């Protein structure tokens, strides 16, 4: 994402996770969170109101706009925030577990976390 501070990166990642979780029911969200590393899992569930109506998936442009609207006065999130977060999440999770959970979700949810890379090894899990 090429952000200048940890706070900027946190805001961007938090916003991406909030936008995604709005599109899941509680069971789906908890299953998704269960495969995330501890800190990302905590960010994902923090302040989640599971009684809010489930939002629809939109095209990527609208989703990015929604990401940028989270804490709008403190949000300098770039246009590639979803892709950059997806890339980082894929590198820090167990691929089989992540794919298993995504396979249970609607196609749009899988598309949300899709990352195009020239070399699939780029998405292999790293030591965390």
Percent of the chain residues topping a pLDDT of 90: 66
- Please report, in angstroms and rounded to a whole number, the separation of the first and last CA atoms in the chain: 19
Domain membership flag for residue 1 = no
Q: Give the chain's domain count.
A: 1
pLDDT digits (tens, 9 = 90+) for 29-62: 999 999 999 999 999 999 999 999 999 999 999 9
Domain membership flag for residue 66 = yes
Cβ contacts of 98 within 8 Å, gap of 6 or more: 35, 89, 90, 113
Angle (deg, nearest 10), helices 6-21 and 60-69: 120
Q: Output the pTM of the full model.
A: 0.86
Domain membership flag for residue 29 = yes
Domain membership flag for residue 74 = yes
What is the extent of the structural domain holding 14? 6-123
Cβ contacts of 65 within 8 Å, gap of 6 or more: none
**CATH code at position 27:** 1.10.490.110
State CA 54 to chain mean position distance.
Answer: 16
């Amino acid at each position: 994402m090429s952000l200048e501070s940890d706070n900027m990166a946190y805001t961007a990642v938090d916003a991406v996770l909030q936008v995604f979780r709005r599109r899941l029911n509680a069971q789906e969200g908890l299953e998704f969170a269960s495969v995330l590393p501890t800190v990302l899992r905590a960010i994902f569930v923090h302040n989640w109101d599971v009684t809010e109506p489930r939002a629809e998936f939109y095209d990527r442009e609208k989703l990015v706009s929604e990401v940028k609207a989270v804490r709008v006065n403190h949000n300098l999130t770039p246009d590639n925030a979803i892709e950059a977060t997806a890339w980082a999440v894929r590198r820090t999770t167990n691929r089989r577990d992540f794919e298993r959970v995504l396979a249970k979700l609607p196609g749009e949810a899988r598309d949300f976390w899709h990352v195009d890379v020239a070399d699939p090894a780029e998405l292999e899990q790293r030591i965390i």
